[in-house]
Structure 1
């Protein structure tokens, strides 16, 4: 036994000595590239040796570039040899002309030592954590073995509800912190209601919750709120910022846009708990799904919320490209949580994305058929009544005329596509070789007598119908279409319909001879009676023929003007585009051609068992694949940020190397994997898991010691205490006062707004205030004009939505108090709340207590009761002496109040109600 013991001891000594020898060379522990080295390089080196600049042909952005020979011919980093590495030598010099970083303070000695250790250890490179596929971490153990078995009590196991709490408690233990107790039931229900539905609970709902002693009482409230129609409205409102939703097109002219059906899609999707992977796919590529439904087409409005420039003199192609670039950037911001926009001009300064990666990704979006035309086509048209019947008859007629069922299906889809979307077509701004012609107001092609132009080469095989949208006021205008040249073979000569003016158009189907192959088509105008009168063409489309009856029905539908909403559609054949790298990001400087692909830093699209189509649908399928490192993490982080006010990664918009490190990385990965795999992308299950946790249900009170240790609550030792969003502040005022109109869906409405806010010189549009209770609908239905958003929303930090807004940065300014004290909506709410107060008490003290309880679900403290009662007394006395002012404050209701109650009493209660609505505990979640 002794011999064996000596042998084991000797082996242990050898291992220990070996370890000491290695530690002596490399330091006490391995250096981690991502957490220790990358921050030093990003801070001090990347500006000159990164994706934008590569001084001396040396870059530290990619491994192969960092280890490759620089301009001098020698590598700057030699793995395993710090002393021989030029990087260390240049960092250690004292001569300012040679020392790096140039023209900047030298690195600290400890930073250089860390770099030396890293190189000596082999200069192990590492991918940033967010670009690595997450692996399911172990859930930390808490409490004691006996408490985990339920045999004894322990503060940690007694407090924790689910795995989220175990991750949080583990971190709190490391930081020397402890969790806070669970909040009281009324506070908790108000927080939960505002978070899940955006509306406060009613007093009756609080009373029912308080009276339910069962252990499942809270979970039942969670289920009730998740099932509420208001849930979809709340979370759709959050998504509208991401989708840059607005009711106008943006830019200087900023005319109206009807895209409210996309907002309705969001509400329905959240309420139906549409799986997030499907939710993402429909918004990015709903039009590419097999047999796409109307809802799936409407969902693509996500990327039709881009701005259009309808101002005269602009170039459509410039702003079409701007819209495509916005789609690329928004897709990365919303679904990938990574800054990608800068790669438009150069390789990413900090993250491993190359310049051409941007344009390979852009190629997924570059075939979209929208082209910055004023009509916003393609749109999905909604026929009603007899027009809807006519569409059904047209489809039946086409189907019955085909013998082969497969051919019939294809032909019905083609005809329905034309009727519902007016695609495929060639927009007239794409004509060229103008003679006595121009783009009218830079919008649609116009031609005068003896003028002509060319339609670029297009396949004519089997396409013997030319659909044209055109018009004029000239009485005898005729257009001749020729093949291949201005003097080529005449295809046909037809009169232009007299529509009363060039800007009024009619759709016609012009018979053409059967011409095989791909040809240019030239057309010329003969208009001798009024040679200066314009003939305008909006678009043309070469289509196969239909039976005369079917063609007549189709033309009848195309000449209607039904309600419609912008959607995404891709062009094929001649309408497909090539994508080029833009040199320095300029669309006027195309470089090498690229094809659709994803950045090499991330998993490839094609795997051994899956080849994805190189279009938006394939891109969406790639983004929701199990090995994708970003999509689930970004989604989980965003939902967490909505509930706690700060994401697990605070920079919700940037999980890259310049983003703030996650406070609970293992928790983020665990939630992401659980969300995608166990929950099958169910957003409601994710939210339920979070709000059921004790971490979410904690009191928000903070001791001075806790504030000193963790002032921003990064480690979640207390519950969230965050100011309500602009929409929630308004909706709560309407809800507690009883004014809120719960009507869902439909076009946007215009609530009260001061005169003079809108100025629309182009078309004279005016803000027409909604009536009959429509003005009191939830805030997400408010009409959103990009150049002049609703004032109270902007004051409470909502964006203009010209571009995607990932998170709202909260401020607290006196302007916000001016809104809630003076905005007509809040005054109306205060007046209605005052009526409620009068019905709930016989004395001012009782009335004030009732109003405070309605607002906060808590009793008013004696100190606040005294202050508010004094406000009431002073205000009543003032209005008793100034009845005209009281009448002005009460507005239209003043005349009705003289019989039942004095003006001064009513006005004083309204002022107190308005004051209470401005209290801190009312405009935050607590």
Structure 2
């Protein structure tokens, strides 16, 4: 009996092995219905490719958790945590736990939970037995050399693929695009109309809209090379450098200030010199490899080639209260992500979790940048020069006081030959670093930059993570095309202008942007470019277009930054606007401006109510609308005047229907528009002797949310401090900037006033309010953590007289927010009443022609590329 027991495990093991062998001998799909196999092919396989294969395929550089999902046997074998699926059982399948994002278990994919529909597909697949026609034994993973990852291999030229629709391509680029489309069952869109294409080219190459005359000149040019001529003209324009410099300034995290610092000037007085150098370099088509070298090591180049202002790329970052380690970390980040598309800064505290970048790599670069001294010449951005070069020790866990081994100054190990490090020992090593980054032997730099250019022209890069070409980044949609363009870019002398020229002359770029339902069903996000992406103007192009439409744009190139939030706003191009890193104006944030605190790979794209409210309420927009209307006021014929407005704003003539509607609108509007209510809102001061308001200045701005009148775009501001009014109260700005709500009597009569002042703070010294009638003050009250009534029995007024409701600060303007709503009642033949809160209005009266102009200037047609 005992012997039998000893042999039982062996018998069971042999039986199990025989069963397993028998099972493996069967075709993988033998036990599944055709419907189950089809479900896998149509539903499951695409999700595995989309969400899982990057980290769980034998082709992955590193398989996470040892789990391979390439066939059924590998899934059943599982990884470090055991079998991934128990066929037929959802609760016992780790894969289902992971995709459901179980609170206490695995959560996959790591970049974000799948949709409920996608999770349901996996659940049905597992519940039905996990049909999988992919045969073969379980695959054992063998870790690969990091250099085998696509972005670390040297790019190669590729012959353009053969295509069926051979008459469509304009160049080899188009062959690559069309071949992918044909493979996916897609087809390209028709060519865009010339009226659309000319606008697209102007915006992409100069950031400015074409005038009606410029559009007509291109449309009427019958020369087969008309597009090439126009492209060459735009590339030669000084506005080209302004447009493309702004793209680069996002990469460089450019700002005119340091951010929060203590007891020092927050301004980089000469920051604009770096910005102007970028503009000039792009206009001169400085080869990109030299563009890189200047920004990293201009001080080490021959004197004839030195442009020290270019060092602003390194030095104009955030100052982090002048903490050296954080400043150097920021510089490592802007160098590695900006030029190489690698997140080297992730290795500050430990080896990179995903990419082959060690802590030693990080501190090698740290040592290079730390072997420099910074100075700020007058009128220049801060510059660098080498001091005594030295290596640093690795900071264990990123802690400066916890030293590890010495990190020799050398180039990133993954970008050099194995076991042959590239030392960076000439001075600080910055010039060697710059040359290594800008070398044709570097597999990343050209790819990264070409991809950035593609993204600006087509709306999205071939790699949609333009500053992360590592394992966590997205794979290129057209890898052979990207490689081919990168090599051609280098062979063509690293010329940025010639690269852009090649791309805008492709049939791919010149496609129409109209939707096509049959293609959208196959490729809903337009990865394979079956149409041109329709794009909204960015902040700079939108504001600049408003100035161009009204003939206001100051085309001066370069110079110190200006405050474009001022009222009136300087008519300089937006690239010359002052960028305050610590207090970025709300207008910038509202329109998705690049955050200047760190390197910005891609700007966010949002559609929020604040954008529409700005277009409706902004004094800048309204000023442009008034100017557009005013410039056409000498045209007597309304239809001709409407036509001129359309030509200036939209670059075209109105249709007959648009002309008729606009003419009807202006003819039915009152000639002398009145305010919607008898209330005015402003700031000013009182005469010390009479107590009456001796200076009243209407507020010129409405807040982005459309709820507050104020003296400038931001609160506080240099014009009137915190002075502001909203429906139920506001805030004074000191004795010379009291908040004043003015009521203008629409008729004569006796007015009674009732109200309550509310000040809710114990801090500060409270606020002082006055009601001032035509003859002078009729009541004065103080509110300090109190709610005094503010009633006046009677005030006699004639039509047009004013009653001012004035709120002033005491010695302190801190904690002076107040609430004050008043009711005015006039009794006579009929009772009339006004309420300061319910009557509150943030619209200033404008005539019909200004309203029509504003409609054109805020339309989608105006603010979209095509």
State the TM-score bracket (shorter-chain normalisation).
0.5 to 0.7
Q: Aligned match of 1:692 in 491, 500, 505?
A: 505
Contact 1:286 1:292 in 2 (8 A): no
Distance in 1, matches of 2:577 and 2:93, equals: 61
Contact 1:188 1:697 in 2 (8 A): yes
Shift of 1:595: 1.2
TM-score normalised by L of structure 1: 0.62
Q: Aligned match of 1:306 in 298, 311, 317?
A: 317
Distance in 1, matches of 2:350 and 2:134, equals: 30
2:630 is the alignment partner of 1:835: yes
- 5+ residue gaps in structure 1? 1-20, 26-34, 47-59, 68-74, 144-155, 311-315, 371-377, 382-562, 755-768, 892-903
Q: Secondary structure at the match of 2:380?
A: strand
Once the two structures are overlaid, the 10-residue window that deviates more, 852-861 or 222-231, is 852-861
Shift of 1:38: 12
Q: Aligned match of 2:367 in 348, 363, 376?
A: 363
1:199 alignment partner in structure 2: 208
Q: Secondary structure at the match of 2:267?
A: coil
Contact 2:163 2:179 in 1 (8 A): yes
Distance in 2, matches of 1:86 and 1:712, equals: 33
Post-superposition Cα deviations, 1:180-221, rounded to whole Å, max 9, x if no partner, equal: 111111211111011101111122222221221110111000
Distance in 1, matches of 2:850 and 2:700, equals: 8
Contact 1:853 1:859 in 2 (8 A): yes
Contact 2:254 2:596 in 1 (8 A): yes
Distance in 2, matches of 1:196 and 1:106, equals: 42
Describe how 1:491-640 pairs up with structure 2 within 5 A: 563-572=379-388, 576-604=389-417, 613=426, 615-640=429-454
Shift of 1:596: 1.5
Shift of 1:257: 1.2
Post-superposition Cα deviations, 1:343-362, rounded to whole Å, max 9, x if no partner, equal: 21222222222233221232
Distance in 2, matches of 1:84 and 1:907, equals: 74
Highest relative contact order (Cα 8 Å, sep 6+), 1 or 2?
A: 1
- 5+ residue gaps in structure 2? 1-23, 29-46, 99-103, 110-121, 681-696, 702-843
User: Measured at CA, do residues 879 and 115 of structure 1 come closer, stay the same or move farther in structure 2, by a change above 3 Å?
Assistant: farther
Post-superposition Cα deviations, 1:839-895, rounded to whole Å, max 9, x if no partner, equal: 5x543343233222322223334554455445434554671687999998999xxxx
Shift of 1:164: 1.3
Distance in 1, matches of 2:418 and 2:671, equals: 74
User: Measured at CA, do residues 121 and 320 of structure 1 come closer, stay the same or move farther in structure 2, by a change above 3 Å?
Assistant: closer
User: Measured at CA, do residues 105 and 303 of structure 1 come closer, stay the same or move farther in structure 2, by a change above 3 Å?
Assistant: closer
2:185 is the alignment partner of 1:176: yes
Distance in 2, matches of 1:213 and 1:165, equals: 24
Describe how 1:20-59 pairs up with structure 2 within 5 A: 40=52
Bigger fraction of residues in helix:
1
Contact 2:77 2:84 in 1 (8 A): no
1:438 alignment partner in structure 2: none
1:923 alignment partner in structure 2: 863
Q: Secondary structure at the match of 1:925?
A: coil
User: Measured at CA, do residues 115 and 838 of structure 1 come closer, stay the same or move farther in structure 2, by a change above 3 Å?
Assistant: farther
1:666 alignment partner in structure 2: 480
Contact 2:424 2:430 in 1 (8 A): no
2:211 is the alignment partner of 1:215: no
2:743 alignment partner in structure 1: none
User: Measured at CA, do residues 685 and 36 of structure 1 come closer, stay the same or move farther in structure 2, by a change above 3 Å?
Assistant: farther
Contact 2:268 2:316 in 1 (8 A): no
2:332 alignment partner in structure 1: 328
User: Measured at CA, do residues 361 and 84 of structure 1 come closer, stay the same or move farther in structure 2, by a change above 3 Å?
Assistant: farther
Contact 2:340 2:448 in 1 (8 A): yes
Distance in 2, matches of 1:115 and 1:578, equals: 54
Contact 2:453 2:500 in 1 (8 A): yes
Distance in 2, matches of 1:345 and 1:826, equals: 48
Distance in 2, matches of 1:243 and 1:696, equals: 27
Q: Aligned match of 2:517 in 680, 699, 704?
A: 704
Post-superposition Cα deviations, 1:142-197, rounded to whole Å, max 9, x if no partner, equal: 34xxxxxxxxxxxx333321111111111111121111111111211111011101
Distance in 2, matches of 1:694 and 1:734, equals: 32
Distance in 2, matches of 1:580 and 1:98, equals: 46
Contact 2:75 2:84 in 1 (8 A): no
2:470 is the alignment partner of 1:656: yes
User: Measured at CA, do residues 799 and 38 of structure 1 come closer, stay the same or move farther in structure 2, by a change above 3 Å?
Assistant: closer
User: Measured at CA, do residues 106 and 569 of structure 1 come closer, stay the same or move farther in structure 2, by a change above 3 Å?
Assistant: closer
Shift of 1:793: 2.1
Q: CA RMSD in A?
A: 4.2
Q: Secondary structure at the match of 2:673?
A: helix
Distance in 1, matches of 2:178 and 2:533, equals: 16
User: Measured at CA, do residues 44 and 251 of structure 1 come closer, stay the same or move farther in structure 2, by a change above 3 Å?
Assistant: farther
Q: Secondary structure at the match of 1:819?
A: helix
User: Measured at CA, do residues 23 and 746 of structure 1 come closer, stay the same or move farther in structure 2, by a change above 3 Å?
Assistant: farther
Q: Secondary structure at the match of 2:83?
A: helix
Distance in 2, matches of 1:228 and 1:885, equals: 49
User: Measured at CA, do residues 124 and 256 of structure 1 come closer, stay the same or move farther in structure 2, by a change above 3 Å?
Assistant: closer
Shift of 1:93: 8.3
Q: Aligned match of 1:716 in 518, 523, 529?
A: 529
